[in-house]
């Protein structure tokens, strides 16, 4: 039997993965009564994590916190893998590339061939671990305050390290983005890092699956017009409809089979 905190964590992860959850499903999955589920939902709603809809719950558009790296890595993994492979095609040998902390940018790192000659700067420990085993990669890891939930370095110290780098191409990640709020995050330390990267890189590309579109965090890192290209999937009709008529940045929809 899950504790109350474990049960609410499960509910939040489940809604992240499925976008919508009914009270019946949640009661069955957690083996508790409908009354208990409704109490859990009230707490999660007060925390700003979910909103109630008819017969169930869905994620709040306002992202109050992100899931831990390990949990995020399981969400839409096939889509992230395909986006990572496609994004790698934008990298030329002999260039300096920044890979932002994230589970989609992690897939870009995994797509780099062992003997591909490139310099990579990253603030993500998981990305560094993968790239340390690739002989062709000259690797620089950004220091600073460690975000233990997301295996990354964030904040002013990380931003100051990045300021001194000459970056040809930066791949940015996010858990929330839309036309109104741009690229956003619940965490100030992450926003500072993204803003700094955008200011020093010659070219910036956002790589994010469409399930994150329509959500926003408290801190805006930048408007979408600050990046040169957005690479996403074509699964979300809302995302595709909202972005199809904008002139800048360039939008690339990757078909997922």
In this prediction, residue 125 carries a pLDDT of 98
Q: Which residue has the tokens 């741009």?
A: 182
In this prediction, residue 9 carries a pLDDT of 87
Reading the block at residue 220, the tokens are: 């805006």
Q: What is the pLDDT of residues 138-179, one digit of tens each?
A: 999 999 999 999 999 999 999 999 999 999 999 999 999 999
- Check pLDDT > 90 for residue 67: no
Assessment of whether the complete model's pTM goes beyond 0.85: no
Mean pLDDT of the chain: 92
DSSP 3-state percent helix, strand, coil across the chain (nearest 5): 40, 25, 35
Question: What proportion of the chain, given as a percentage, has pLDDT over 90?
Answer: 67
- Check pLDDT > 80 for residue 248: no
In this prediction, residue 257 carries a pLDDT of 67
Give 235's pLDDT tier (boundaries 50, 70, 90).
low
Pairing outcome for strands 201-207 and 229-233: parallel
Give 181's pLDDT tier (boundaries 50, 70, 90).
very high
Report helix, strand or coil for 175.
Answer: coil
The number of residues making up the chain comes to: 257
Q: Which domains does the chain have, with CATH numbers?
A: 4-59 (1.10.10.10), 69-254 (3.40.50.1360)
- Check pLDDT > 90 for residue 227: yes
Angle between helical axes of 23-30 and 4-18 (0-180°, round to 10): 130
What stretches of 36-88 adopt beta strand conformation (E)?
50-53, 56-59
- Distance (Å, whole) CA 116 – CA 127: 16
- Check pLDDT > 80 for residue 134: yes
């Amino acid at each position: 039997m899950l504790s109350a905190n474990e049960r609410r964590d499960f509910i939040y992860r489940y809604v992240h993965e499925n976008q919508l959850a009914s009270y019946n499903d949640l009661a069955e999955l957690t083996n508790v009564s409908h009354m208990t589920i409704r109490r859990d939902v009230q707490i999660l709603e007060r925390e700003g994590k979910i909103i109630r809809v008819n017969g169930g719950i869905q994620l709040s558009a306002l992202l109050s916190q992100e899931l831990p790296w390990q949990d995020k890595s399981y969400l839409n993994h096939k889509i992230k893998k395909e986006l990572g492979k496609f994004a790698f095609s934008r990298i030329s040998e002999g260039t300096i590339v920044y890979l932002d902390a994230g589970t989609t940018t992690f897939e870009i790192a995994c797509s780099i061939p062992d003997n591909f000659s490139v310099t990579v700067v990253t603030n993500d420990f998981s990305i560094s671990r993968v790239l340390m085993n690739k002989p062709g990669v000259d690797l620089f890891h950004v220091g600073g305050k460690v975000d233990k939930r997301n295996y990354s370095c964030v904040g002013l110290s990380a931003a100051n390290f990045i300021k001194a780098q000459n970056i040809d191409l930066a791949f940015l990640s996010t858990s929330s983005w839309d036309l109104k709020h741009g690229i956003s995050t619940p965490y100030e330390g992450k926003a500072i890092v993204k803003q700094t990267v955008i200011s020093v890189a010659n070219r910036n590309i956002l790589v994010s699956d469409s399930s994150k579109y329509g959500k926003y965090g408290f801190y805006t890192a930048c408007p979408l017009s600050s990046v040169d290209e957005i690479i996403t999937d074509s699964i979300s009709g809302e995302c595709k409809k909202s972005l199809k008529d904008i002139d800048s940045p360039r939008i690339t929809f990757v078909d997922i089979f």
